[in-house]
Amino acid sequence: MHELAVCQSFITQVERLARHHNAFAVDRIVIAIGDLSGVEPELLQRAFTIARAGTLASAAQLEIQTGNIRVSCQTCGAQSDAKANRLLCAQCGDWRVKVIAGEELMLVSLELSEIPSHTPGETACATPAAAQ
Ligand SMILES: [Zn+2]
């Protein structure tokens, strides 16, 4: 499944960011998927429940934002919304358009549970890194 590979690469990216911020868990992941990205949001959501197991994101929620397709017309210069199966300028109907939105597949934001640095050594379980 293509979506599983996509998901795994997102989780690799998310874990790297989480470690960078000293987080011990990822609570929420927001991903933007364009209609032309070739990724099915439903399949990605399902793949996520498999890919997150055993990672810092194992209890994270995945929010998927899907966006409209926007094209810029090479003939009249107008920018308009378009459909994946009908990439035409809404203004003049020309097919010579450039896709300016809709191909994205990216991480938008993350919510992390961070180790509080202002309360050092409060309880043993608050600093799992020290247990090693
Ligand atoms: Zn046009």
Side chain identity, residue 73? C
Transcribe 99-127 into DSSP letters: EEES--EEEEEEEEEEPPSSSTTS-GGG-
Judged by average pLDDT, the poorest of 7-21, 42-56, 107-121 is 107-121
Does the structure show a pLDDT above 90 at 124? no
* Mean pLDDT value across residues 75-91: 95
| Sign of the dihedral defined by the CA atoms of residues 119, 125, 8, 105, in that order | negative
Does the structure show a pLDDT above 90 at 126? no
What pLDDT does 117 receive?
65
Cα 70 to ligand 1 centroid, rounded to whole Å: 12
Cα 125 to ligand 1 centroid, rounded to whole Å: 61
124/76: higher pLDDT: 76
Give me the percent of the chain exceeding a pLDDT of 70.
Answer: 87
What pLDDT does 1 receive?
58
User: In the predicted model, what is the mean pLDDT of the chain?
Assistant: 89
Cα 87 to ligand 1 centroid, rounded to whole Å: 11
Cα 95 to ligand 1 centroid, rounded to whole Å: 8
Q: Which residues surround ligand 1, an ion (CB under 5 A)?
A: 73, 75-76, 78, 89, 91-92, 94
∠ at Cα 109 (63, 122), nearest 5°?
A: 105
